């Protein structure tokens, strides 16, 4: 026996899916931006350290 969802049930399911997807994408973007920022500062620190080392060596 198959139960066909009503249009209200379909709309509620689609809205719940869209909200969940939007939250997941937003969280993923925030995590990605945080990781890229950390990597940027790490590479900047390494670059400055190499330049400083090259300047201090005879």
Confidence of residue 2 (pLDDT cuts 50, 70, 90): confident
Residues 6+ apart with CB under 8 A from 5: 13
9-39 confidence digits (pLDDT tens): 999 999 999 999 999 999 999 999 999 999 9
Confidence of residue 3 (pLDDT cuts 50, 70, 90): confident
The terminus-to-terminus CA distance of the chain in angstroms comes to 85
Q: CA 39 from chain center: how many Å?
A: 14
Residue owning tokens 């379909």: 10
The CA distance from 19 to 7, in Å, is 18
């Amino acid at each position: 026996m198959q139960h066909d969802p009503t249009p209200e049930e379909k709309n509620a399911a689609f809205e719940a899916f869209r909200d969940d997807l939007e939250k997941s994408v937003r969280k993923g973007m925030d995590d990605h931006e945080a990781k890229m920022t950390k990597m940027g500062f790490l590479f900047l620190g390494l670059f400055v350290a190499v330049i400083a080392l090259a300047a201090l060596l005879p």
